[in-house]
């Protein structure tokens, strides 16, 4: 696989990982001991650290890309393995 393909897949995994990791590690204002502003949702995050969040997403994406590339090389899971329709009705 070319390095440009790996880079494109990595960037897709970074974006997907960022969305998957959004609910983890977030504390509300109430949990942080902060008074809520009138009209503020009680579920609003106390502080969102974008850099730290993206670092976590980049690390998770790197691990997923390694697994993806190893699967590409060794063929652990193929398209035929994911064809459930054929297995049921075939």
Instruction: Show the CA angle centred on residue 13, arms to residues 52 and 49, nearest 5°.
Output: 15
DSSP labels, 7-72: HHHHHHHHHHHHHHTTTTT--BTTTTTPPPPTT--TTSBS---HHHHHHHHHHHHHHHHHHHHHHH
pLDDT band per the 50, 70, 90 thresholds, residue 85: confident
Which residues on adjacent β-strands are paired with residue 28? 45
- The pLDDT of residue 90 is 65
* pTM exceeds cut of 0.75: yes
Rounded to an integer, what distance in angstroms lies between the CA atom of residue 12 and that of residue 14? 5
Q: Tell me the pLDDT tens digit for each residue of 53-79.
A: 999 999 999 999 999 999 999 999 998
């Amino acid at each position: 696989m070319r390095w440009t393909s790996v880079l494109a897949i990595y960037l897709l995994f970074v974006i997907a990982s960022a969305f998957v990791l959004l609910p983890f590690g977030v504390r509300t204002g109430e949990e942080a001991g902060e008074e809520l502003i009138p009209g503020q949702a009680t579920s609003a995050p106390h502080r969102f650290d974008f850099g730290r969040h993206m670092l976590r997403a980049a690390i998770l994406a790197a691990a997923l890309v390694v697994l993806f590339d190893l699967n590409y090389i060794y063929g652990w899971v193929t398209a035929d393995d994911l064809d459930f329709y054929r297995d049921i009705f075939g």
